[in-house]
Amino acid sequence: MSEWWTYSLSDFLMFSSRSYYRLIESYNAAIWPAHLLALVAGLVVIGAIARPRQHLQRSAALVLAAAWGWVAWAYHLERYAEINTAAPYFAAAFAVQALLLCWRAYRPGNAAPTPQPLALGLSGLAIFAYPLLALARDNGTWGQAEVFGIVPDPTVVATLGVLLAWRAPAIFWLVPVLWCLVSGATLMELKIGHAWLLPALALTAVLARVMRSKKTRDFNSTANPRS
Amino acid sequence: MPPTSPSRRHLLASMIAASSGLALSPLLAAAPSAPLLTRPIPSSGEQLPVIGLGSWITFNVGRDPQGRRESVDVMRQFFAGGGRLVDSSPMYGSAQDVIGEAVQTLKPARLFAADKVWVSGGARGVAQVEASRKLWRVPRFDLLQVHNLLSWEEHLPILLAMKREGRLGYVGITTSEGRRHAEIEKIMASQPIDFVQISYNALDRDVEQRILPLARERKIGVIVNRPFRQGDLTQALAGKPLPGWAADIGCTTWAQALLKFIVSHPAVTCAIPATSSVAHVRENLLAGTGRMPDEALRKRIAQDVERLA
Q: How far apart are CA B258 and CA B284, in angstroms?
A: 10
- Tell me if B187 sits within 8 A of B163, measured CB to CB: no
Q: Which CATH architecture has domain B46-308?
A: Alpha-Beta Barrel (3.20)
Tell if the CB–CB gap between A19 and B63 is shorter than 8 Å: no
Residues with Cβ within 8 Å of A56's Cβ and at least 6 positions away in sequence, in order, are A44, A47, A48
Pick among A1, A2, A15, A141 to test the B interface (most B CBs inside 10 A)? A15
Interacting residues of A195 by C-beta distance below 8 A, sequence separation 6+ = A184, A187, A188
Residue B23 in this model has a pLDDT that exceeds 70 = no
* Confidence class for position A112, pLDDT limits 50, 70, 90: low
pLDDT band (50, 70, 90) for residue B19: very low
Task: Name the residue facing A83 among B93, B180, B276 (closest C-beta).
Answer: B93
Amino acid letter at B5?
S
The helix/strand/coil state of B227 is coil
Distances (CA, A) of B181 to B150, B282, B298: 14, 32, 23
pLDDT band at B14 (very low <50, low <70, confident <90, very high): very low
Q: Average per-residue pLDDT in chain B?
A: 90
Whole-angstrom distance, CA of residue B103 vs CA of residue B82: 15
pLDDT of B309: 86
pLDDT greater at residue B6 or residue A88: A88
Four-point Cα dihedral B64, B66, B67, B73, nearest 10: 140
Alpha-carbon dihedral sign for residues A45, A49, A50, A54:
positive
Give me the pLDDT at residue B179, please: 83
d(CA B221, CA B169): 13
| Separation CA A219–CA A41 (nearest Å) | 35
At B42-88, the pLDDT tens digits run: 999 999 999 999 999 999 999 999 999 999 999 999 999 999 999 99
State the pLDDT at residue A137: 87
- pLDDT (0 to 100) of residue A226: 55
Q: Is the pLDDT of residue B274 over 70?
A: yes
Is the omega angle on the peptide bond into residue B90 within 30 degrees of 0, that is, cis? no
| Helix (H/G/I), strand (E/B), else coil: A35 | helix
pTM: 0.86
Which of B55, B94, B132, B228 to mutate to probe the A interface, most A CBs <10 Å? B94
Task: Give residue limits of the domains in chain B.
Answer: 46-308
Tens-place pLDDT, residues A125-178: 999 999 999 998 888 899 999 999 999 999 999 999 999 998 899 999 999 999
Compute the distance between CA of residue B302 and CA of residue B206 in angstroms, rounded to an integer.
Answer: 13
Strands B35-40 and B23-27: antiparallel
pLDDT at A214 (0 to 100): 74
Of the pLDDT bands very low, low, confident and very high (cuts 50, 70, 90), residue B3 is: very low
Across the range B204-225, mean pLDDT stands at 97
The domains of chain A are located at: 13-212
Helix/strand/coil for A166: helix
Q: What does DSSP assign to residue B262?
A: H
pLDDT band at residue B9 using 50, 70 and 90 as cut-offs: very low
Q: Is the pLDDT of residue B266 over 70?
A: yes
pLDDT at B18 over 60: no
Given a cut of 50, whether residue A41 has pLDDT beyond it is yes
CA distance B248 to chain A (A): 35
pLDDT in tens, B169-207: 999 999 988 788 999 999 999 999 999 999 999 999 999
Contact B57 A15 (CB under 8 A): yes
d(CA A205, CA A200): 9
A10-24, A72-86, B201-215: segment of lowest average pLDDT:
A10-24
Residues in chain A: 227
pLDDT the model gives residue B32: 38
Contact in structure between B286 and B265 (CB atoms under 8 Å) = no
C-alpha span between B286 and B303 (Å, rounded): 23
Please give the pLDDT value at position A116: 86
pLDDT of residue B21 exceeding 60: no
Asked if pLDDT for residue A42 goes beyond 70, the answer is yes
What does the pLDDT read at residue A11? 76
Helix/strand/coil for B87: strand
Helix or strand or coil: residue A86? coil
Name the minimum distance, in Å, from the CA of B179 to any CA of chain A: 7
